[in-house]
Amino acid sequence: MPLNLEEYTCEFCGKTCKNVIYAAFVCDDPECIEKARVARGGPGGHMKRKAEGKPIIPADLEPMIEENKKARGGFPRTVFSA
Ligand SMILES: [Zn+2]
């Protein structure tokens, strides 16, 4: 059965509902999506990051991934971070 989101409002700001995230009705404001995530204790923050157009990879893993890329070649010398 199709769900008409337009009939619902964002649980956090009261604007027209655009998404159902973590079983919460929310608009497409990343702030409301974040509130939904926190409120529901949803898994990770990847949906929010996606909504903001950021990489899904957590920021604290990015340096490790960069090091991995370097180690896999394409970089003139192996870099050992101090
Ligand atoms: Zn909202």
Structural contact between residues 19 and 5, judged by C-beta atoms closer than 8 angstroms: yes
Give the pLDDT score at 81.
55
Q: Greater confidence, 34 or 58?
A: 34
In the block, tokens 């409301």 appear at: 32
Give the pLDDT score at 70.
72
pTM comes to 0.47
- 44: phi > 0 → left, psi -120 to 50 → alpha, else beta; which? left
Give the pLDDT score at 10.
95
Number of residues that this document lists for the chain: 82
Q: Determine the number of helices (DSSP H) and then strands (DSSP E) in the chain.
A: 3, 2
**Could you list which residues have their CB under 5 Å from ion ligand 1?**
10, 12-13, 15, 27, 29, 32
Measured CA to CA, the distance from residue 66 to residue 51 in angstroms comes to 23
User: Does position 3 have pLDDT exceeding 70, yes or no?
Assistant: yes
User: Does position 26 have pLDDT exceeding 70, yes or no?
Assistant: yes
CA of 3 to the centre of ligand 1 (A): 18
CA of 40 to the centre of ligand 1 (A): 15
